[in-house]
Amino acid sequence: MSGSTVANEYVIYGPSISLFTRKLEAAFRFYGAPFHQEMPNPDIGGRAATHQVPVLLTPENWAIADTTPILAMMDARFPARHLFPAGPAGVLVHIVEEVLDEWFARVMVHYRWHYEENTVHTVSELLGKSLSVEEARELPLAKWGPRACRATGTESEHQQRAAEKEYLDMLAALEAQLGSTPYALGDRPTAVDTILLGGLRAHTNNDPIPDLAAFPRVLAWDAEGADLWGGEGAIAPPPGVTPFAAHLLERARDQYAPFALGNRRALAEGRKAFAIETYGEEVSYLARPYIEFSRQLVIERIRNQLDAGDRAQVRSWIESCGLGECFGLEE
């Protein structure tokens, strides 16, 4: 029956064109947890107190939102298949996932709503029928898209090209990594792999643009069931990180950290927007409470989930990455 779980089954409410819905689906396949997916409805959104997707309905009939805390809950339920490791390795995973969730996600918004082919494809897929360009443009979702691009800093042509290069450079790093390890951070999947697969499946390997033919390993990783995992493998804790993780940590230092700290200052001062330099020009962003909430989740992991020795090691490593201020060392 729609809107209910069967035995121990979970329900993921969200459309297949949603980055975070597909992230959660990939996670549930890694966990080996029974689930099915349904389209969202006002009742489930009201129960979870959110207008965003996805919402997870648990076997206990809890309706909860926000993929990162959901994964933390599921790690406790499936400890042998955790996607956030304990100790310093979990901090590494959380930081890289945070950068992908809160910085690279804006590139997906840009690709979808600044390219007409993608916009038409998206709304046609969502409605289950072919639409013309003119019909697609008139839909509320298509009108929302450019506003979302403006809020996340990809309004100018320069920022659009820079964002695309950033994303394609990230895929090049993943392509190289998959030649050495089966997953982005080593020999087992983590929350990082879930957001990477979510982006491919909902956006860039689903929409007409971009062309990902230059990344055959990435395409095979997606198509051949990267999330069909047997439960084995490990990742190295920091400072021992994969080349892919090192690439993302540089983006964290140079792009995500100024963005997250600018957002923090704006919220503290009661401003609705803030401007920082991004790729050589001043860019305005909408100040959003969730960005600060998710940054604080990383800080709380460092403060509350590590013993004194591990905490000292992680703080030294974070400082060496140029992320000390961003992740609480100076607070």
Would you say residue 5 has pLDDT above 50?
no
> Looking at the structure, do residues 211 and 120 belong to the same domain, yes or no?
yes
> Looking at the structure, do residues 215 and 307 belong to the same domain, yes or no?
yes
Residue 4 lies in a domain: no
> Looking at the structure, do residues 129 and 264 belong to the same domain, yes or no?
yes
126: confidence class by pLDDT, cuts 50, 70, 90: confident
| Average pLDDT over every residue of 66-94 | 96
Give the pLDDT score at 331.
52
Residue 3 lies in a domain: no
| Average pLDDT over every residue of 24-28 | 96
Residue 229 or 331, more confident: 229
| Average pLDDT over every residue of 217-222 | 96
| 241, HSE (Cβ side, Cα atoms, 13 Å) | 22
Give the pLDDT score at 2.
44
- Percent of the chain at pLDDT > 70 equals 97
Domain boundary among 27, 57, 81: 81
Give the pLDDT score at 1.
34
Q: What's the whole-number average pLDDT of the chain? A: 94
136: confidence class by pLDDT, cuts 50, 70, 90: confident
Long-range Cβ contacts of 253-257 (<8 Å, 24+ apart): 253/321, 253/322, 253/323, 255/103, 255/166, 256/98, 256/99, 256/102, 256/103, 256/326, 257/322, 257/323, 257/325, 257/326
By mean pLDDT, which of 69-78, 142-151, 245-254 is the weakest?
142-151
> Looking at the structure, do residues 46 and 108 belong to the same domain, yes or no?
no
> Looking at the structure, do residues 231 and 250 belong to the same domain, yes or no?
yes
> Looking at the structure, do residues 24 and 43 belong to the same domain, yes or no?
yes
> Looking at the structure, do residues 151 and 285 belong to the same domain, yes or no?
yes
Would you say residue 219 has pLDDT above 80?
yes
Residue 5 lies in a domain: no
56: confidence class by pLDDT, cuts 50, 70, 90: very high
> Looking at the structure, do residues 120 and 162 belong to the same domain, yes or no?
yes
- What residues make up the domain containing 14? 10-81
Would you say residue 199 has pLDDT above 80?
yes
Q: Total structural domains in the chain?
A: 2
CA atoms of 47 and 58, how far apart (whole Å): 12
Residue 130 or 289, more confident: 289
> Looking at the structure, do residues 153 and 120 belong to the same domain, yes or no?
yes
Domain boundary among 81, 100, 123: 81
pTM of the model: 0.94
- Percent of the chain at pLDDT > 90 equals 85
Which residue in 208, 203, 200, 152 sits closest to 174, CA to CA? 200
Domain boundary among 56, 81, 106: 81
> Looking at the structure, do residues 200 and 305 belong to the same domain, yes or no?
yes
Residue 53: CATH number of its domain: 3.40.30.10
Would you say residue 214 has pLDDT above 60?
yes
State pLDDT tens for residues 141-180. Answer: 888 899 999 999 999 999 999 999 999 999 999 999 999 9
> Looking at the structure, do residues 41 and 125 belong to the same domain, yes or no?
no
Long-range Cβ contacts of 303-309 (<8 Å, 24+ apart): 303/328, 305/86, 305/90, 306/87, 306/88, 306/91
